[in-house]
Amino acid sequence: MDKRMEDRAITPRYTVTRAAELVGRPPNTIRRWSLGHRRTYKGQIKVDDPLIDVDGPSALPLSFLNLLELQLLNHYRNEAALQAIRRALDFVAKELQIGRPLISIEFKVRGGELFTKFAETEEGAILVNASGGGQMTLEKLVGGVKVTEDIDYDEDIVRRWWFKSRAIPLYVDTQVAGGRPITAETGVRLDAIASRHDEGYSNGEISEDTGATATEVVAAILAA
């Protein structure tokens, strides 16, 4: 395992605002998930702990691995309540002793609760209800799209994230452009395209000026 590659993946690079743009959630939501939240409930102060462990200080808290954790959290949040997700992450971290559970294992959502595969038998997969504290059930798993299909690995280390999908020619790579989003074919930074678009350049002018393909220019503008 290349130590430099591993270090790049956990180096803090992203603000909450930038992460929100990439993940597609409001900054306040990303801040609560990443840094926790103080709120008043029935006249008392309550503290919601963060759902991930950030790799940097509050001014620049998020690493590339944190981005992936937030993206996976975003995926599960579409199908399960936040408390069910929190219970599942706590169970996996404490009872199964797994660090970074969001990117270490894959959960299946059933009835608003998160399950993870414990073992495979001839009858089907034995699933652990992580949201329910570890209750086991036997279930035939139906194949489908994996949450991690938009992630590339290099020597078993996460390296690249196609943050829209593989069908959109944009990604974040820990080894290129300081981890900033770039176009997939030509490697042009998205902020370079976005700034020219804001200045009134046509798509053709942006393509000629930056070297990005016409498809990449359109994708970058829509992602901005």
Of 41, 71, 102, which residue sits at a domain end? 102
Residue 181 in 3-state DSSP? strand
For residue range 167-196, what is the model confidence (pLDDT) as tens digits? 999 999 988 888 899 999 999 999 999 999
**Length reported for the chain:** 224
Residue 209 falls within a domain, yes or no? Answer: yes
Least reliable range by pLDDT among 32-36, 125-129, 161-165: 125-129
Are 91 and 172 part of one and the same domain?
no
* 66 and 155 together in one domain: no
Pick the range with the lowest mean pLDDT from 23-37, 49-63, 107-121, 144-158. 144-158
Residues 108-113 have a mean pLDDT of 88
d(CA 34, CA 17): 12
- Is position 13 within any domain? yes
CATH number of the domain at 154, please: 1.10.10
* Residue 1: band (very low, low, confident or very high) from pLDDT cuts 50, 70, 90: very low
Residues 14 and 82 in one domain: yes
In a domain, 204, yes or no: yes
Indicate the residue among 44, 73, 102 that finishes a domain: 102
Question: What mean pLDDT do residues 40-48 have?
Answer: 85
pTM: 0.80
Q: What residues make up the domain containing 179?
A: 147-224
Residue 39 has pLDDT above 50, yes or no: yes
Among 11-20, 105-114, 214-223, the minimum mean pLDDT is found in: 105-114
Under 8 Å between Cβ of 130 and 84: no
Domain-located, residue 168: yes
Is residue 19 domain-resident?
Answer: yes
pLDDT greater at residue 19 or residue 40: 19
CB 31 within 8 A of CB 18: no
Contact 76, 85 (CB under 8 A): yes
